[in-house]
Amino acid sequence: MHDERLDVENLHLWRGDRHVLRGVSFSLSRGECLQVTGPNGSGKTSLLRTLSALMYPEEGRVLWRGQDVRADLAAFHGALAYLGHEPPLKGELSARENLRYWIGVRRRIGSRALEAALELVGAGAWCDRLVRTLSAGQRRRVALAGLALLMVPLWLLDEPTTNLDREGQQLVADLIAEQRARGGMVVTAVHHELPASLRDLRRLELRA
């Protein structure tokens, strides 16, 4: 897996008559984290959605391990975890059930791994409550537990620290550091600075 890398070449994206992404290029190799910054409406979410191949760029391409991601979408998606603005959770299921279904669709998870992930994000005490009774920060923590369970090399995170207290933000930083330590890659869109403990982040500034 030494050739794992993400290359983005000259992305141009239009939404209606708005030119959202204007020639974005970067590459990311093992253990690197790219922090995408920029004001509201500068296209951070659009960039992440284009990287994940949910959106089609008008020009440019995304290469995973040197190959256009559209050539083998299933393989690329198998290597990728995308967390959007809202945690993809069902209000009528408990945190534990949510993870079992959401992650289980992608990979087999043993109950021990599930417990460990719930402990990791501090959800041990409330993981059997229905998600609709949880606070926004708690929901975000459940989503982070899912991220930890997925064990994939590429993370695309859209504002991962939203709604989190300081301890939760540190948790995000720890998760990202761990992902990098094991050779994973992270692209994250942020408003707020990530905790200072994360060093040598690469930055990409988008303009509105």
Partner 1 sequence: MSRVVTRIADSLVQTDTAPSTQTPAGPDTAQASVLEAARLALARDLRLAFRKRDQLVQPLAFYAMVTMLFPLSISPELSRLREVAPGVLWAGALLASLLALEFLFRDDAYDGTLEQYALSGQSLTWLMFAKTAAHWLLTGLPLALMAPLAGLSLGVPAAALPGIVVSVAVGSIALSLIGSIGAALTLGVKRSSALLALLTLPLSLPVLIFGARATQLAISGGPLLAPIELLAALAVLGLTLAPLAAAAAVRISLE
For partner 1, the binding residues (CB under 8 A) are 1, 4, 30, 52, 54-56, 74-80, 82, 84, 86-93, 97, 100-102, 104-114, 151-153, 179, 182-184
Residue that is written with structure tokens 């991220």 in the block: 147
Nearer to partner 1, 178 or 193 (CB): 178
Nearer to partner 1, 31 or 137 (CB): 31
Angle formed by the axes of helices 111-120 and 136-150, nearest 10°: 130
Q: How far is the CB of 25 from partner 1 (least distance, A)?
A: 22
- 111 membership: H or E segment, kind and range: helix 111-120
Nearest Cα residue to 8 out of 42, 59, 75, 78: 59
Q: How far is the CB of 43 from partner 1 (least distance, A)?
A: 15
Q: How far is the CB of 35 from partner 1 (least distance, A)?
A: 20
Nearer to partner 1, 7 or 115 (CB): 115
By the 8 A CB rule, do 24 and 204 touch?
yes
Nearer to partner 1, 74 or 208 (CB): 74
CA 191 to chain centre: 15
Q: How far is the CB of 75 from partner 1 (least distance, A)?
A: 7
Nearest Cα residue to 53 out of 37, 33, 74, 32: 74
